[in-house]
């Protein structure tokens, strides 16, 4: 029999880790290939992990609520195969792990077994792994061990053991610009009546992705004021008939998404991503929309939004939002986004600055439509006004193209009338 290792899969773009929310199997259970073995949470999706093999579960290497990096082993499974092959496989794995060279602080660590997550955290925090006692199998150091040390503030540094060690020191290569730092949580005094809320896997993943975006992307911000009076009048005149005919609401947001998709087609520079030594201008216009639940934020994607009608976009917004809030959204429906639109106006916001959905180039906040007095031809009039707020990656975009893009969205919204706007 051969022992195979099941690893944490990548469940979405820019997803680097996942949290085991529930095991669906236990050691000794027989499973078939593609049968679900665990439920996993990330910042983008809740999903089931299918087995890559048919066999018997030997060991669960992660506990429920434990977060593991993509590629880290989550369980082992015994599958059919010769004993010789099994021994060769295990020996090869052990040899590869034991010859891993890692620099933590200023000490070279070798002949040890460390997961990618453990290596990353130790390097970013200067933790001397020689001084850490692991709680994993056979004394293996786990991610949880390091996080507990960081939280306690008692981090064993390499400098603390220099005098007692005859090993030559090795300088630490600097972290690449944009590397996500794992920062020590500040000590906060709690008083009677304070409520401590544990940070779950989804919230941790959201925090990590937002921190990565702010660390790596030089954000710039701009806003335009849009007169949406014609849009408001048009929608009010058809919304009841549309609801009766289609069975779902014709929202303002659908008009904005359509206008943005059309503008992205005209200004493809906005529909781009930073790739280090090059900028990738995406052909497809796939708009990520922010959908919030009581505890998390998800970004499902409207694929090929420029090819859809306002009715089609309205239907897709409704369906995706329902799937998110019922926990039925799939990994595929969360991937492939090229530009994000956030309907901040749904909760009354009139001005905000969004954090870009890494690795996209921009995010646009559609604020609340409010009645305001404005001057038209020297006269004061009450109009339905809305702010469109754009956060942009200044490595990719500058003010000129971003301003032209916003001006085009503004023009489309302000000329939304029955004569030049079709719903179907």
Phi, psi of 183 (to 5 degrees): -90, 150
**29 carries an active-site annotation:** no
**To the nearest 10°, the Cα dihedral for 355, 359, 361, 366?**
-40
Mark 286-306 as b/e (b = at least 16 C-beta within 10 Å). Answer: bbbbbbeeeebbbbbbbbebb
Q: Label residue 22 exposed, middle or buried (CB < 10 Å: 0-12, 13-18, 19+).
A: exposed
Catalytic pick from 130, 219, 304, 394?
Answer: 394
Mark 93-117 as b/e (b = at least 16 C-beta within 10 Å). Answer: eeeeeeeeebbbbbbebeebbbbbb
CA atoms lying within 13 Å on the CB side of residue 127: 29
**91 carries an active-site annotation:** no
Residue 396 near residue 272 (C-beta atoms within 8 A): yes
**Alpha helix stretches (DSSP H) within 267-387:** 310-325
Residue 30 near residue 55 (C-beta atoms within 8 A): yes
Quick one: tokens of 331?
Answer: 């990994």
**How many C-beta atoms lie closer than 10 Å to residue 232's C-beta?**
18
Catalytic pick from 94, 284, 332, 398?
Answer: 398
So which residues are the catalytic ones?
394, 398
């Amino acid at each position: 029999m051969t022992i195979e290792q099941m690893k944490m899969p990548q469940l979405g773009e820019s997803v680097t880790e996942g949290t085991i929310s529930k095991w669906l199997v236990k050691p000794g259970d027989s499973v078939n290939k593609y049968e679900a073995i665990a439920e996993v949470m990330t910042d983008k999706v809740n999903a089931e992990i299918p087995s890559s093999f048919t066999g018997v579960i030997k060991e669960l290497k992660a506990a429920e609520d434990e977060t593991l990096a993509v590629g880290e082993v989550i369980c082992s499974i015994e599958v059919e195969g010769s004993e010789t092959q099994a021994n060769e496989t295990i020996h090869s794995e052990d040899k590869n792990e034991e010859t891993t060279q890692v620099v933590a602080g200023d000490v070279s660590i070798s002949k040890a077994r460390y997961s990618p997550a453990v290596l990353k955290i130790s390097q970013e925090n200067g933790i001397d792994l020689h001084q850490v006692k692991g709680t994993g199998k056979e004394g293996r150091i786990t991610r949880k061990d390091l996080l507990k040390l960081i939280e306690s503030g008692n981090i064993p540094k390499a400098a603390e053991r220099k005098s007692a060690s005859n090993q030559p020191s090795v300088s630490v290569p600097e972290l690449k610009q944009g590397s996500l730092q794992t920062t020590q949580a500040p000590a906060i005094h709690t008083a009677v009546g304070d409520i401590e809320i544990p940070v779950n896997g989804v919230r941790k993943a959201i925090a990590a992705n937002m921190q990565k975006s702010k660390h790596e992307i030089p954000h710039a911000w701009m806003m335009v004021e849009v007169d949406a009076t014609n849009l408001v009048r048009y929608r009010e005149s058809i919304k009841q008939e549309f609801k009766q005919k289609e069975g779902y609401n014709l929202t303002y947001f659908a008009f904005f998404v359509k206008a943005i998709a059309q503008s992205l087609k005209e200004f493809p520079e906005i529909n781009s991503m930073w790739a280090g030594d090059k900028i990738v201008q995406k052909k497809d216009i796939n708009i990520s929309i922010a959908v919030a639940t009581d505890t998390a934020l998800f970004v499902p994607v409207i694929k090929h939004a420029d090819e859809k009608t306002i009715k089609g976009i309205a239907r897709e917004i409704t369906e995706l939002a329902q799937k998110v809030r019922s926990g039925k959204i799939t990994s595929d429906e969360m991937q492939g986004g090229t530009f994000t639109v956030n309907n901040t106006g749904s909760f009354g916001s009139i001005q905000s600055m969004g954090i870009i959905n890494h690795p996209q180039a921009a995010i646009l906040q559609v604020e609340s439509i409010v009645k305001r007095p404005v001057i038209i031809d020297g006269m004061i009039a009450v109009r339905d006004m809305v702010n469109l707020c754009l956060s942009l990656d200044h490595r990719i975009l500058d003010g000129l193209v971003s301003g032209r893009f916003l001006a085009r969205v503004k023009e489309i919204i302000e000329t939304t009338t029955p004569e030049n706007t079709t719903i179907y």
